[in-house]
Amino acid sequence: MHDVTLILTLTTALTAALVLGFITHALRLSPIVGYLLAGIAVGPFTPGFEADHGVAEQLAEVGVILLMFGVGLHFHVRELVAVKGIAVPGALVQSAVATVLGALVGRLVGWDWPTAVIFGGATSVASTVVLIRVLSDNHDLHTRAGHIAVGWLVVEDLLTVVALVLLPTLLNAQSGPVGAATALGLAALKIGLLVGLLVIVGGRVIPWTLERVAATRSRELFTLAVLVIALGIAVVSATLFGVSMALGAFLAGMIVGRSDFSLRAASEALPMRDAFAVLFFVSVGMLFDPRTLLEAPGLIAATLGIVLVAKPLAALAIALMRGYPLRIALPVATSLAQIGEFSFMLAAVARELGAMPDRAVDALVAAAIASITLNPLLYRAARLLEPLLARRFASTAEPAGEADHASGYAAHRAIVVGYGPVGQTVTQLLLDNGIEPIVIELNLDTVRRLRTFDVRAVYGDASRPDILAEADIARARHLLLTAATGAAEEEIVRRARELNPEIRVVARTQYTRQVPAVRKAGATHVFADEGEVALAMTTSILGHLGATDEQIDRERARVEALFRAG
């Protein structure tokens, strides 16, 4: 019977998430809104089928672990260092403002101080998923404002990771301040041992293991290896060191992220994360009681006020005081005017410890749905208002040493997929003609060799969006598919067109029958191996028989037309 409940819960939760996620995506909203609404639809407070929340919560635990692993995987110190002058103080001050305001709201409705402070902290952290989506949709992800917003959010994420680690220790501590200090000291010792072990041992063993698995060229084994590392270290962290699984997963992600396999792990193994993350959002939505909208409208309105007004105003003031112009400060501020996955993680831990009442969770879910829905609209509105506001505020220069990274990009850039004989020749010709090549290759040794010659190279599968994004496809003018790999060409071309509709794609296929499909996928020019051989032979024969250049060109055009028709 339990197995039936598991299957029913899993099926209905994913089905509802798919339907409502598709609808919200069609409305140009974040699918997270759809996932939360799906949880409400299958939850105990709405009519119809009621999913088993206990089962959904257990599955969602895996989602939390993989989400934290992904955060660690994408955490890059260099991104933070590049904008540390604004991201670190900005995130600290803004988080403090939101936490204080949220705590005051909590006290006004009668909660004790620990609950009120945790509630305030949950309102202070924005959603990584939503922020990246909003910046990408508005083509601002690789701008100065985008870099600052991402760095700002990295600091917020780190603050939340610390809170997730310390929360159980602080709430379970006995005997007042002395007991809390002792518990914190013991927790710090355990965390130090865990970090030291992972850095010293894991930093060698994990990359070595992934390299051996990658050498098998089996995508399934590589995906399995990454999942085992994420889940295994999370479990070991909790069972042997007594710290949260979230911290273990985060540290595991950081170690993998420092290796040559970070991009491949993100593109091939973490899609599994997305499925479990959906269940996490659904499980959160199942906790929401719609009656709260009528019973506590003031609490929800106050929470929304913190998220949509206080947080962006604090961020705007900080950015302006740090000397940034309005054209940068305004997008950064509005992109942070929402809450998401980390807010729910914090609330979930506090709820398990008995420090988060249902009414507080309801307020966070309502605020998340509203803020995630409104954030893209607010961002676009801020962009439209920026020229008007700029006339009222004197423009300031950007702080020295923090110029836009975009200025360093080459004017001509081409992405070369595959570094076989054709790819090597194409890459060399591009270099000889002043065009910057970026090579995407699945052979790790080849990638390392190219990097020693100062040629940018990305290790991974070009059909994965993360790999194409790492190769800066948004700024590339050409995409050259130099390896004929069968059906993969179509997927690569489609993904490339989604990320950069203006890019010129030159593709290679093995057979002429594949040409129409690749061209339909969006390729600008397609060359088939057997077609090019036939053209070369035809040209050779005609030249030997004394044909003129015009006759050869005419026959070549006729043969090319035959191949296109085929």
Q: Which of 6-15, 271-280, 495-504, 520-529 has the lowest mean pLDDT?
A: 271-280
Is 413 strand, coil or helix?
strand
* Last residue within a domain, chosen from 392, 421, 456: 392
- Determine the average pLDDT of the residues in 184-201: 79
Confidence of residue 202 (pLDDT cuts 50, 70, 90): confident
Residues 380 and 414 in one domain: no
User: Is residue 119 in some structural domain?
Assistant: yes
Residues 321 and 363 in one domain: yes
Is 458 strand, coil or helix?
strand
pLDDT surpassing 80 at residue 142: no
- Determine the average pLDDT of the residues in 72-101: 83
- Determine the average pLDDT of the residues in 179-197: 75
Contact at 8 Å (CB) between 506 and 461? no
Residues 227 and 350 in one domain: yes
Residues 450 and 559 in one domain: yes
Confidence of residue 404 (pLDDT cuts 50, 70, 90): very low
* The pLDDT of residue 464: 81
Residues 331 and 453 in one domain: no
238-247, pLDDT tens digit by residue? 888 777 787 7
Is 528 strand, coil or helix?
strand
Helix (H) or strand (E) holding 206: helix 203-214
* The pLDDT of residue 403: 44
| 3-state helix/strand/coil string of 490-515 | HHHHHHHHHHCCCCEEEEEECCHHHH
Q: DSSP labels for 32-57?
A: HHHHHHHHHHTSTTSSS----HHHHH
User: Is residue 213 in some structural domain?
Assistant: yes
Q: How far apart are CA 36 and CA 17, in angstroms?
A: 8
What CATH number does the domain containing 456 carry?
Answer: 3.40.50.720
* The pLDDT of residue 108: 94
Whether pTM > 0.75 for this model: the answer is: no
pLDDT surpassing 90 at residue 543: no
* The pLDDT of residue 309: 94
* The pLDDT of residue 117: 93
User: Is residue 246 in some structural domain?
Assistant: yes
pLDDT surpassing 60 at residue 146: yes
Q: How many CB atoms within 10 Å of residue 393?
A: 11
Is 472 strand, coil or helix?
coil
| 3-state helix/strand/coil string of 220-249 | HHHHHHHHHHHHHHHHHHHHHCCCCHHHHH
Please give the C-alpha separations between residue 27 and each of 23, 293, 444, 452, in angstroms, as whole numbers.
6, 23, 41, 47
Angle at 211 between CA 209 and CA 215, to 5 degrees: 120
Total domain count for the chain?
2
Q: Residue 135's closest CA among 315, 332, 282? A: 332
253-280, pLDDT tens digit by residue? 888 888 888 877 877 766 677 778 888 8
450-479, pLDDT tens digit by residue? 888 888 898 888 888 878 888 888 888 899
Residues 429 and 292 in one domain: no
Q: Residue 191's closest CA among 161, 165, 160, 167? A: 165
Q: How far apart are CA 487 and CA 330, in angstroms?
A: 44
Q: How far apart are CA 436 and CA 413, in angstroms?
A: 5
Mean pLDDT of the chain: 82
Q: Which domain holds residue 501?
A: 407-565
* The pLDDT of residue 174: 52
Residues 356 and 453 in one domain: no
pLDDT surpassing 80 at residue 170: no
* The pLDDT of residue 255: 87
Contact at 8 Å (CB) between 322 and 86? yes
Contact at 8 Å (CB) between 373 and 432? no
- Determine the average pLDDT of the residues in 5-9: 82
User: Is residue 399 in some structural domain?
Assistant: no
378-391, pLDDT tens digit by residue? 998 888 887 777 66
Residues 233 and 270 in one domain: yes
Q: How far apart are CA 195 and CA 223, in angstroms?
A: 24
What CATH number does the domain containing 348 carry?
Answer: 1.20.1530.20
pLDDT surpassing 70 at residue 356: yes
Percent of the chain's residues with pLDDT above 70: 89
Structure token digits, residue 38: 């799906």
* The pLDDT of residue 360: 92
* The pLDDT of residue 93: 93
pLDDT surpassing 80 at residue 176: no
At position 47, the amino acid (one-letter code) is P
Residues 383 and 414 in one domain: no
Q: How far apart are CA 419 and CA 445, in angstroms?
A: 11
* The pLDDT of residue 401: 47
Q: How far apart are CA 60 and CA 496, in angstroms?
A: 32
User: Is residue 402 in some structural domain?
Assistant: no
* Last residue within a domain, chosen from 328, 361, 392: 392
Residues 423 and 275 in one domain: no
Q: How far apart are CA 307 and CA 314, in angstroms?
A: 11
pLDDT surpassing 50 at residue 1: no
User: Is residue 398 in some structural domain?
Assistant: no
* Last residue within a domain, chosen from 331, 364, 392: 392
* The pLDDT of residue 408: 40
- Determine the average pLDDT of the residues in 62-72: 81
Residues 440 and 381 in one domain: no
* The pLDDT of residue 257: 82
* The pLDDT of residue 304: 95
User: Is residue 467 in some structural domain?
Assistant: yes
Q: Residue 36's closest CA among 59, 61, 13, 58? A: 13
Q: How many residues in the chain?
A: 566
Most confident of the ranges 24-38, 303-317, 490-504, 528-542: 303-317
Residues 374 and 523 in one domain: no
* The pLDDT of residue 409: 41
User: Is residue 65 in some structural domain?
Assistant: yes
pLDDT surpassing 90 at residue 66: no
